[in-house]
Amino acid sequence: MKALKNKITTFQLILVVCILLAGTFIRMEGLGKIPSGLTNDEANIGYDAYSILKTGKDQWGEKQPNTYFKGFGDYRPPIYTYTVVPSIAVFGLNEFAVRFPSAVAGSLTIVLVFLLALLLWENATIAIASMFLLAFNPWHIGMSRVGIEPTVAVFITTCALNLFLLSFSRKILIYPSLALFALSIYTYTSFVIWAPVFMIILFYCFRKNILINKKSLLIGLLIFIVILLPIFLGGNLKTASTRSGQVNLTGDTGLINIVNDKRGECQTNLKNRICQIFQNKYITFASVFVTNYLNHYSPELLATQGTPTQYSILPQRGFLYVWEYIFFVIGIFALLRQKQPQSLLILLWVLLAPLPDSITGSGHYSRFLPIVPAIQLTSTTGAYSMYLLFKKKRWIIMPVVPIALYSIISFLIVYSTYFPRFYATFSHYGYRDLMHFVKNHESQYDKIIISNRINDTKQYVFYLFFTKYNPSLYQSGKNVEKVSEQNGWIRIKRIGKVYFLPNADFSPEEIKKTLPHILLAGAPDEFPKKTKTLYSVKDPKNNVIFALVDINQNPEFLLKKQAQLLILQ
């Protein structure tokens, strides 16, 4: 490291500090307000952390620490939730507290990328350019500002990689390096596949360096295995297996139906054996997997359109800037020409990172994040190779600087103004106001029905989160109705007098003996046009998201149900 210190000038060090401060500010400023709203995953993580803080158990009464959180039935790895516990202890149960650990991890990754590039290339210019690309990368900024696991997982693996490279000169650092790789598996489901694959890449690329210290490597691997033992000894393999069954290709009934239809048509003209060979699920799944994999490198995903799954973190745009994508492509060819172990490492990293996500989709904003920061290192390699090529004709590449600055400023303006207003509903905006109203008026009603037609079946967690529902009471299961659904998902039907149902309606039987006081909350189009609305929850564009209707103020509801009851009788 002493040799590396000598390669950094005072001016370069100032640049490093300025980029780090700028990247941190971008990730922290208005963290509780942008993105607007709070996704159900964030609320779920937040309430689990709140429950641990208050009771030492998660929302389902499972003692902690544990190797997983049951969550919605998706069995999430535990690390990120644990980091949210002290955050909630300091800031309270709110959006900022849930997102704070992710923003910190994202900010620290910026400086880790600088150190990583310096270790790999021993070139301060490349190192500064790499951290600059990460600091202002739209994708990483968006991910650092939401309270979910991938950003922390990337931080942990980047830290582990730095320690691994430093262990060539200080053997003892191989131990914390491999320990962190093991820890990443407890952070995000994709890393169950990615962490071992990445370690194999490292061992292969730097086999000459690590074989010199076989004893240290073996001890490090033993540490890696010991840290993962609770997953196997506790029988808790649900984290990966359950989540895989919920999202992977083999569970896609649509694909299976298409295969069956194709085979059925084939069998009307050809022999069954021929149809089985050419129309089967294995060929179909392999074809979809390859298509998914290749799409991860498409200009549509990375440079222009992105993916509809990203709208909770970014507006419609590529994960990268267009100019960054061009340098990324150039960088891949530049790495192919280089023969150093570090070049092979980055190249294999880029080529293999999409594997976990390709099993489930064609470019998910969170499951594809393991490619960071390899994608920035590759882009920097491409930019630097172009600089060397046109070093004597700088005027050819000089326009890149104003173009890059313009696109960065343009993105930041769109992200801070247009994005929180026009994409608010993708972050489940409106639940704070809805649940606060429900909580404040709950005592006035016999029953409150919240329609999940407008969103999904996980609305209960917003009620728990925004009302700060007593975790001990919820864990007891008292006045809580839950339903186990297909593929292990858990749906909460009722908490106390608050019901989470498919639509804003109630059954005729409910008015047999008495006239209950019912509050309905649903999408505006779930109610007749002349319905008198008690309260409306609006998005930032002033569109009504939820309409709350008191049936006592709308007697036609009761008349309609009474008529239905007479017909049923």
Phi (first) and psi of residue 340, to 5 degrees: -75, 155
What letter represents residue 494's amino acid?
R
- The one-digit pLDDT tens for each residue of the chain (569 residues) are 455 555 788 999 999 999 999 999 999 999 999 999 999 999 999 999 999 999 999 999 999 999 989 989 888 999 999 999 999 999 999 999 999 999 999 999 999 999 999 999 999 999 999 999 999 999 999 999 999 999 999 999 999 999 999 999 999 999 999 999 999 999 999 999 999 999 999 999 999 998 888 899 999 999 999 999 998 886 555 555 555 454 555 555 566 677 776 767 777 777 777 877 777 777 778 888 899 999 999 999 999 999 999 999 999 999 999 999 999 999 999 999 998 999 999 999 999 999 999 988 889 999 999 999 999 999 999 999 998 888 777 777 788 889 999 999 999 999 999 999 999 999 999 999 999 999 999 999 989 999 988 777 689 999 999 999 999 999 999 899 988 887 778 889 999 999 998 887 766 555 555 557 889 999 998 888 888 999 999 999 999 999 999 988 887 776 666 555 444 44
Angstrom distances, CA of residue 185 to CA of 180, 195, 353, 366, 548: 9, 7, 15, 15, 43
CA atoms of 64 and 80, how far apart (whole Å): 14
CA atoms of 500 and 504, how far apart (whole Å): 9
CA angle 306, 365, 423 (to 5 degrees): 65
Contact between 112 and 159 (Cβ < 8 Å): yes
- Give residue limits of the domains in the chain: 2-247+296-422, 254-289, 430-568
Query: Is the Cα dihedral 556, 558, 564, 566 positive or negative?
Result: negative
